[in-house]
Structure 1
Amino acid sequence: MHATIWHNPACSTSRKTLAILQAVPGIDLTVVEYLKTPPSAEKLAQLYRDAGMTPQQGLRTRNTDVVERGLPDADDATVLAAMVATPVLIERPLVETDKGVRLCRPQERINEII
């Protein structure tokens, strides 16, 4: 099975999710530090669609200015553009496997797709 994690090494939940993935035998793992290499708007749209959530639900509200910027009420294209331009606005970690996509908060959500 292949898995991709959009990871922030400074985030404990992201580190715990990565550790879970690394402990699963047979996983071909790709780690993307999304603050350095943000996904495209198209990729984010696909991830959220496959996770069954909206881009607005994927916004990181803690320690960001998303509310002041009006992003929770903005249209999808505006939210996705803001995330690409300012990747710290992406809630983490997002994980994609052959079985689906999850925003792994809490990290145990990874078990739904591995």
Structure 2
Amino acid sequence: MKATIWHNPECGKSRATLAILQARDGVDLEVIEYLRNPPTRAKLAQLYRSAGMAPREGVRTFKTDAEERGLLSADDDTVLDAMVAEPRLIERPLVETDKGVRLCRPPETVEEIL
């Protein structure tokens, strides 16, 4: 099974999710450090659509100004534009497999798509 993790090595939840993926036999894993290689706007939109969530549900609020900027109640276009401009606003980790996409908080959520 192919799995892609949009990863931040500084994040404990992201590291824990990565460890689950690495421990699973048969997982062809692609690790994308999204702060260095941010997703395109189209890819972000597709990830949230596939996860069944609005982009604002994937906004990182800890140590960002997302709330002050009104991103928690903003429309999808505004949120996606902000995330593309500042990838640190993307909550992590996002994992994509053939079975779907999950924002893996808690990390064990990844099991739903493996």
Give per-residue Cα distances to partners, 1:67-93, cap 9 Å, x unaligned. Answer: 111111211111001101100000000
Q: Counterpart of 1:12 in structure 2: which amino acid?
A: G
In percent, how many aligned pairs have the same letter? 69
* RMSD (Å), alpha carbons: 0.6
How many residues are aligned here? 114
- State the alpha-carbon separation in 2 of the partners of residues 16 and 67 from structure 1: 26
Residue of structure 1 equivalent to 2:45: 45
Structure-2 residue corresponding to 1:9? 9
Q: CA deviation at 1:45?
A: 0.6
Query: Which 4+ runs in 1 deviate beyond 3 A?
Result: none
Q: Secondary structure at the match of 1:71?
A: coil
Match of 1:81 in 2: 81
Unaligned runs of 5+ in 2: none
Deviations 1:44-65 (A, max 9, x none): 1110011010000000011110
Instruction: Quote the Cα distance in structure 2 between the aligned partners of 1:73 and 1:14.
Output: 25
Structure 1: unaligned runs, 5 residues or longer: none
Distance across 2 between alignment mates of 1:14 and 1:45: 20
Q: TM-score, normalised by structure 2?
A: 0.98
Cα distance between partner residues in 2 of 1:7 and 1:39: 11
Q: Secondary structure of the residue that 2:19 maps to in structure 1?
A: helix
* Matched position secondary structure for 1:53: coil
